[in-house]
Amino acid sequence: MMVVSVKRQYLRTLILLAIFVAYLLGGSAIFHAIESKDEEENINKTKVFTQELQQQFNLSDEEFAYLVTTIRSNPYIGKMDRKWNFTQALFFSTTVVTTIGYGVLAPSTEAGKGICIIYALFGIPITILLYQSVGDIINAFFAYLIRSFKKTMGKVPRVRNLELGIFDGLLTMTFFSGGAATFAFLESWSYLDGFYYCFITLSTIGFGDYVALQKHNHHMNHSAYLGLCIIFIMLGLAVVSSGLNLFIRFTMEITTTDQTKKEIDKTALKMITLLTMTNIIIHACICYNLPP
Amino acid sequence: MMVVSVKRQYLRTLILLAIFVAYLLGGSAIFHAIESKDEEENINKTKVFTQELQQQFNLSDEEFAYLVTTIRSNPYIGKMDRKWNFTQALFFSTTVVTTIGYGVLAPSTEAGKGICIIYALFGIPITILLYQSVGDIINAFFAYLIRSFKKTMGKVPRVRNLELGIFDGLLTMTFFSGGAATFAFLESWSYLDGFYYCFITLSTIGFGDYVALQKHNHHMNHSAYLGLCIIFIMLGLAVVSSGLNLFIRFTMEITTTDQTKKEIDKTALKMITLLTMTNIIIHACICYNLPP
Ligand SMILES: [K+]
Ligand SMILES: [K+]
């Protein structure tokens, strides 16, 4: 029995590895094709603009190249505003413990780097425990709603994973749509960019190409906006994790034991996948067909 | 019973929230203090340098400010090398599915952004399943080693969480130290910066302030180095997750059921914490006392 289980584990890992490598290569081909074409166009456009700029300021190629390199290598040139005020430090700390790590702010001192490592080491587990705890409360609340509804309908008040998955899916959709619209409004982005920001943030990828709270905002004062951002991130991670917990419970149970297999509602995962696909299609329509 | 359990869940969440808020505020105060002082010094130093630069190229304040803003807002100015080649796209795809998201490369086209969202949606679960699977194999191998050793010593071949935790801790330490030294050598960084890069990468924070594979490397050819980076990231995540799984199993069991509580070796967590602390102290000594 043990040997079979180990063999199965190896086979499973090999299959996953094959899928992973194929997925990476496929993705790279697509991103390379799309983005390099756009990059080429931008570089060509910029070449003309660069020449005009050089003529305007009477700079030789060498002088201009030296200026560009110098300005790029020293982020303090031309920066009037202090970046490391308390508000931004609070936003920075949030991006560390959530592992979003936009990188618009990062420690540059040796002490800062060392403290950042220790800070993350204890902060990440605390944060995961917190938003998973909030996620559990959300699921408990949904279970309570479903049970109450079934009772009033005279049915057996049993909550199935499928029903919980649908509620989680709907909440996630609402959260992403609402977040996208809110950030698009507050940061003057298109709806696609707002949605992209929400996704890149709540998936904790955090590229740092779109980051809230970076410009002097006209709509809200800074502290209120910071509070909104932190609450959005933490609640969003709770919402995503409450949905993800269903998925993890599902995969953990099929990989570790066969005993509890019967308990799992396989249709739950199918429905969640279906909901996700519907979500993608709806948003694709909003983002690409309607004017931003 | 149910009411007590719900109450306990609320209390637990409230305590976690209090710890989280205190931890955020404390961290922000420290980072603000350290980094804003350094920032102030750098800005003052740069002011003098900026004036020299302006005089050298005979530029007025307005002209220089315009040049800096223009160069900063258009990343294509002065860029000769294409960023989106296949190698970099492959590295980019790796940072998406692992949620590291350095952000040195990010999609700038609408199509690229949309595809990136869908790509991450399916890629992240695949990647988690893969590195957790590899992590399970690592733990199974350690369990086999411990069992074999105990058999030859004539003891009962039972593997305790404590022993597994020590092995995971030692492997993680070795991996971080080895990675730090390797990247410090290949990228000409100090050991602290190499360690900081490994930590920020394998915690999936991924600020993007230190990123491997960004300069034309003298030590290795590009494809071999890319392969090394991807293998380091995936193996590193497997190593970290194999240790983290022990921690998650521990916290899940104390929060959900009381039945299996007895099975858990509480000393395991203590030992892992102790190992982590020792690790931090050793590295702090290496990074701050010895010359880089
Ligand atoms: K990240
Ligand atoms: K990041």
Contact A92 B40 (CB under 8 A): no
Check: CB of residue B214 under 8 Å from CB of residue B188. no
Same domain assignment for residues B136 and B236: yes
Q: How large is the average pLDDT for residues B239-248?
A: 78
Q: How many folded domains does chain B comprise?
A: 2
pLDDT of res. B180: 95
Q: Which of B162, B165, B159 is nearest to B244 (CA)?
A: B165
- What are the b/e assignments for A139-165, b being 16+ CB within 10 Å? bbebbeebbeeeeeeeeeeebebbbbb
Residues of B in contact with A118 (CB under 8 A): 280
B21 phi, psi to nearest 5 deg: -65, -45
Kindly write down the DSSP assignment for every residue of B59-124, as one continuous string: --HHHHHHHHHHHHH-TTTT--S-S-SHHHHHHHHHHHHTT----SS---SHHHHHHHHHHHHHHH
**Min distance A38 CA to chain B CA atoms (Å):** 7
B106 Cα to chain A: minimum distance (Å): 7
Q: Which residue of A has its CA nearest to B80?
A: A43
- A21's tokens: 């490598």
- State how far the Cα of A260 lies from the Cα of A235, in Å rounded to an integer: 31
pLDDT-based confidence at residue B252 (cuts at 50, 70, 90)? low
The DSSP string of A191-231 is HHHHHHHHHHHHTT---SSS-TT-S--SSS-HHHHHHHHHH
Ligand positioned closest to the Cα atom of B208: 2
Are residues B87 and B232 located together in one domain of the fold?
yes
Going from the Cα of A213 to the center of ligand 2, the distance in angstroms, rounded, reads 16
Residue A21 is assigned to a structural domain of this protein: no
Q: Which of A23, A94, A247 sits opposite B123 (nearest CB)?
A: A23
Q: How many residues does chain B have?
A: 292
Residue from A11, A89, A64 nearest B30 by CA:
A89
Q: How far apart are CA A27 and CA A169, in angstroms?
A: 26
CATH number for position B242: 1.10.287.70
Give the total residue count for chain A: 292
Residue A262 resides in a domain: yes
Domain range for B38 is 1-56
Name which residue leads in pLDDT, A236 or B283: A236
Q: What six digits make up the tokens of A35?
A: 């983005």
* Region for residue B252 given its phi and psi (left: phi exceeds 0; alpha: psi -120 to 50; beta: otherwise): alpha
Residues of B in contact with A23 (CB under 8 A): 97, 122-123, 126
The answer to whether the Cβ–Cβ distance between A203 and B126 falls below 8 Å is no
What does the pLDDT read at residue B288? Answer: 63
**Closest chain B residue by Cα to residue A280:** B118
| Nearest Cα residue in chain B from A98 | B205
Q: Are both B152 and B250 inside the same structural domain?
A: yes
The two three-digit tokens of residue A247, written as one number:
């998925």
A52: its two tokens: 């005009």
CA terminus-to-terminus distance, chain B: 58
- How far CA B200 is from CA of B20, B158, B192, B209, in Å, comes to 20, 36, 12, 10
- Say how far apart CA B261 and CA B238 lie, in whole Å: 26
Cβ burial, residue B263 (10 Å; 0-12/13-18/19+): exposed
In a shared domain, residues B31 and B94: no
Strand, coil or helix: what is A105?
Answer: coil
Flag whether B70 is in a domain.
no
Q: Do B130 and A13 touch (CB under 8 A)?
A: yes
- Does B127 lie in the same domain as B264? yes
DSSP string, A107-130: --SHHHHHHHHHHHHHHHHHHHHH
DSSP 8-state assignment for residue B217: -
pLDDT of res. B275: 63
Which of A177, A16, A80 lies closest to B65 in space, CA to CA?
A80
Place of tokens 């943030």: A201
- The chain-wide mean pLDDT, for chain B, equals 83
Q: Which pLDDT band, with edges at 50, 70 and 90, does B2 fall under?
A: very low
pLDDT at B269: 56
B175 with B140, same domain: the answer is yes
What pLDDT was estimated at residue A98? 96
Does residue B195 register a pLDDT over 90?
Answer: yes
Do A78 and B101 make contact, defined as CB atoms within 8 angstroms?
no
- Select from B284, B248, B255, B283 the least CA-distant residue to B269: B248
Give Dmax over CA atoms of chain A in angstroms. Answer: 84
pLDDT of residue B124: 92
Q: How confident is the model at residue B260 (pLDDT cuts 50, 70, 90)?
A: very low
Is residue A234 within 8 Å of A131, Cβ to Cβ? yes
**Is the residue at A48 inside a domain?**
no
Specify the pLDDT at position A250. Answer: 59
pLDDT band at B42 (very low <50, low <70, confident <90, very high): confident
Q: Please report the pLDDT score of residue B264 as a whole number.
A: 44
In a domain, A248, yes or no: yes
Structure tokens at B268: 């395991």
Residue B67, domain member (yes or no): no
Closest chain B residue by Cα to residue A207: B103
The answer to whether A133 and B13 have CB atoms below 8 angstroms apart is yes
Ligand 1 center from residue A200 Cα (angstroms): 9
Whether residue B24 lies inside any domain: the answer is yes
Q: Which ipTM value was assigned to this complex?
A: 0.83
CB within 5 A of ion ligand 1: which residues?
A 101, 206; B 101, 206
How far apart CA A211 and CA A254 sit, in angstroms, is: 38
Mean pLDDT by 10 residues, chain A (292 residues): 68 92 94 90 85 82 83 77 86 96 93 94 91 89 90 85 83 92 93 95 95 76 89 94 72 50 49 63 62 40
CA distance B114 to B137: 35
Instruction: Indicate whether A8 belongs to any domain.
Output: no
Distance from CA of A153 to the nearest CA of B (A): 23
Q: Which of A165, A171, A178, A170 is nearest to A232 (CA)?
A: A178
Does position B159 have pLDDT exceeding 50, yes or no? yes
> What is the C-alpha to C-alpha distance for residues B236 and B135, in angstroms, rounded to an integer?
9
Rounded Cα gap, residues A101 and B206, in angstroms: 6
- Most confident by average pLDDT, B29-43, B56-70, B237-251: B29-43
Distances in Å between the Cα of B234 and the Cα atoms of A111, A202, B25, B45 are 29, 22, 33, 41
- For an interface test with A, give the residue of B4, B17, B19, B20 to mutate (most A CBs within 10 A): B20
- Mean pLDDT is lowest, of A72-81, A194-203, B190-199, B250-259, for B250-259
Q: Which two tokens stand for residue B109?
A: 């086209």
Better pLDDT: A108 or B290: A108
